[in-house]
Structure 1
Amino acid sequence: MAASLSKTLGLRLRGSGGHRLLPSRPSTSHAPQPPPPPAAAPLPPDLFPRAGAGKEAGAWSKLFLFAPGAITFGLGTWQLFRRQEKLEMLEYRTRRLEMEPVAWNETVSSAVSSDPAVLEFRKIVCEGDFDTEKSVFLGPRSRSISGVTENGYYVITPLIPRPTEPGSLQSPILVNRGWIPRAWRDKSMQDQQDLGETLDVKEADKKTNEKGTWWKFWSKKPESSPEIEKPVKPPVRVIGVIRGSEKPSIFVPPNEPSNGQWFYVDVPMIARACGLPENTVYIEDMNEDISASNPYPLPKDANALIHHSVMPDDHLKYTFTWYTLSAAVTYMAAKRIKAKKVRL
């Protein structure tokens, strides 16, 4: 019996020895897969310049270097055209001033009022009386006399018509009578002030005499004498040229009519200050009949009337300046480009 038990155990051990149990492993069939590594980003196309980009940039840089020379050359050429325009303008003004003077009458006055360019730089002749109490002093304006520069003013006075004269003008006009020194202006203003004070005193005396009627009763009445007529002065004859308002620069201060300060010609403003309509005609006297004993006001001559702030000779100077600057900057640009080629 013992032998049979040992035999049975031996058989069981042999049967179980052929099948070994392996340790269990966790299942990986449902685990998430790791993400793939990111792909390398492509390089931008700007990092790969085109073959002709360098040549194009070089061409633009050359044009930029030569641009100042071209601009200054154009400005110099423009000054030549401006010079030619000024020559034609001066010739036109000179030709107009050499014509015979035109008598100022109602027909001419109406024509000028409608179109002032009709008599531009034409001499006109008019007669009337100067209202010196309403004179306007424009300045200060310097003038060179015998090589000495002196400050002064232009005096603008209304010319009032005289109805009794057949050749008199029909409506008031403003006349630039010419240049006066500062001392002459101060004396004129002082005389007007003294005249105003004298008139005020006479008016006050007249009122006092009217009140003192008792003195008239006791005083002896003077004998009446025949009235002596004062000699009538002939009308003032003015030969001038019709002009317009000035265009002041930014450096000229504005006019101050309330203070009597006039720095440039503004015809409507001066006319209002003198009690005249704004469309009053303004002329500049150019009468050459100057008295040696009383030379002031000194009228403008023909050269002063046709003179412009920028004359043809000035345009030649500007042309030379611009052309010189153009040559200088062009030379520097060419030298810069040549230096770059040598380095390459």
Structure 2
Amino acid sequence: MEMLDYRKKRLEMEPIMWNEGPSTGEDLASLEFRRVVCEGYFDESKSIYVGPRSRSISGVTENGYYVITPLVPRATGHGSLQTPVLVNRGWVPRGWRDKNIKDSENLEKALESKEADITPNGEGAWWRFWSKKPTVSKAEEPITPTVKVLGVIRGSEKPSIFVPANDPSTGQWFYVDAPMIASTCGLPENTVYIEDINEDANATNPYPVPKDVNTLIRHSVMPQDHLNYTLTWYSLSAAVTFMAVKRIKAKKIRL
């Protein structure tokens, strides 16, 4: 109960404005369960999918994943913090993940095909010298939209003995290991890990589904669960004792 009270108090504190730098001198490990606001853009090419994770929708259980993406903060002024963070954007269905992987593969193939068209096979250095690659000016480059993330600083998950080990080489992630994910994304191992709790739903693009802030407060076994277990086992013990007494009395009467 003290732990739950501690988490509630931390979540009620003023959020840290990450773009302006932490407003406290505390160590990052001690900032767990503090809310944080960060504005920047997601590096979608480095997204990590952790799962499978199930989610109940209208009574139907569906398997999916948590998608974790590096977020590069936007500069807000001189000396503003530019350290990327890992953001658990929430739950996505299995098909959403497969579609994004396929789109990334198609994009890579399109870029390779475009490069092959620029330099036809069989042409030597003469062609490469006279043919000019089309250049894209900064004004024509696609602008990545910035997003504002409201999240909670968290730590890595502690898997049970039944959970397989993560395998970054094959893209198999079964639990959140923040230092390992950060290293795979090319970030320092001490990169901050944040779980998105933004409740603004988008009907046209409902995924990813962020975590509910109430789930962050919960523990695997809540105090109410202990009370339920106590009532259940005492009730079963009383019922078994009553049946045993009736059984013994019936035998004595027959004798």
Same fold (TM over 0.5): yes
After superposition, give the CA deviation of every residue in 1:237-287 in whole Å (9 maximum; x if it has no partner): 111000001111112111111111111111111111111111111000111
- Distance of 1:110 and 1:187 partners within structure 2: 41
After superposition, give the CA deviation of every residue in 1:213-260 in whole Å (9 maximum; x if it has no partner): 46997x9x9xx9x98545644422111000001111112111111111
- Distance of 1:93 and 1:322 partners within structure 2: 30
**Which of 171, 184, 208 lines up with 1:260 in the alignment?**
171
- Distance of 2:86 and 2:138 partners within structure 1: 35
- Distance of 2:210 and 2:190 partners within structure 1: 23
Q: Show the counterpart of 1:288.
A: 199
Other structure's SS at 2:22 match: helix
How much has 1:90 moved relative to structure 2? 2.6
- Distance of 1:255 and 1:241 partners within structure 2: 24
**Which of 143, 166, 177 lines up with 2:55 in the alignment?**
143
Q: Show the counterpart of 1:36.
A: none
- Distance of 2:147 and 2:183 partners within structure 1: 23
Question: Structure 1 residues 259, 169: closer, same or farther in 2, change over 3 A?
Answer: same
How much has 1:320 moved relative to structure 2? 3.0
- Distance of 2:179 and 2:97 partners within structure 1: 23
How much has 1:161 moved relative to structure 2? 3.3
**Which of 98, 107, 113 lines up with 1:195 in the alignment?**
107
How much has 1:170 moved relative to structure 2? 1.6
Determine whether 1:182 maps to 2:109: no
- Distance of 2:240 and 2:18 partners within structure 1: 58
Q: Show the counterpart of 1:116.
A: 29
Question: Structure 1 residues 115, 123: closer, same or farther in 2, change over 3 A?
Answer: closer
The number of equivalent residue pairs is 242
Q: Show the counterpart of 1:95.
A: 9
Determine whether 1:317 maps to 2:231: no
Question: Structure 1 residues 309, 293: closer, same or farther in 2, change over 3 A?
Answer: same
Question: Structure 1 residues 307, 106: closer, same or farther in 2, change over 3 A?
Answer: same
Whether contact under 8 Å (1:155, 1:180) holds in the other structure is: yes
How much has 1:196 moved relative to structure 2? 1.4
**Which of 275, 279, 283 lines up with 2:190 in the alignment?**
279
After superposition, give the CA deviation of every residue in 1:111-132 in whole Å (9 maximum; x if it has no partner): 45x3422x33221111222111
Q: Which has the higher helix share?
A: 1
- What amino acid does structure 2 have at the position aligned with 1:148? V
- Distance of 1:165 and 1:107 partners within structure 2: 10
- Contiguous gaps of at least 5 residues in structure 1: 1-84, 332-344
TM-score, normalised relative to structure 2:
0.80
After TM superposition, list the pairs within 5 Å mapping 1:329-340 onto structure 2: none
Q: Show the counterpart of 1:13.
A: none
- What amino acid does structure 1 have at the position aligned with 2:29? P
Whether contact under 8 Å (1:154, 1:176) holds in the other structure is: yes
TM-score, normalised relative to structure 1:
0.61
Question: Structure 1 residues 215, 250: closer, same or farther in 2, change over 3 A?
Answer: closer
**Which of 187, 208, 219 lines up with 1:297 in the alignment?**
208
Q: Show the counterpart of 1:171.
A: 83
- What amino acid does structure 2 have at the position aligned with 1:284? E
How much has 1:151 moved relative to structure 2? 0.8
- Distance of 1:170 and 1:227 partners within structure 2: 21
Other structure's SS at 1:108 match: coil
- Distance of 1:158 and 1:215 partners within structure 2: 37
How much has 1:173 moved relative to structure 2? 1.1
Question: Structure 1 residues 230, 270: closer, same or farther in 2, change over 3 A?
Answer: closer
The share of aligned pairs that are identical, in percent, is: 66
After TM superposition, list the pairs within 5 Å mapping 1:1-40 onto structure 2: none
Determine whether 1:160 maps to 2:72: yes
- What amino acid does structure 1 have at the position aligned with 2:41? D
Q: Show the counterpart of 2:249.
A: none
Other structure's SS at 1:127 match: strand
- Greater shift, 267-276 or 99-108, is seen at 99-108
Other structure's SS at 2:69 match: strand
| Two-structure CA RMSD over aligned residues (Å) | 3.4
Whether contact under 8 Å (1:157, 1:177) holds in the other structure is: yes
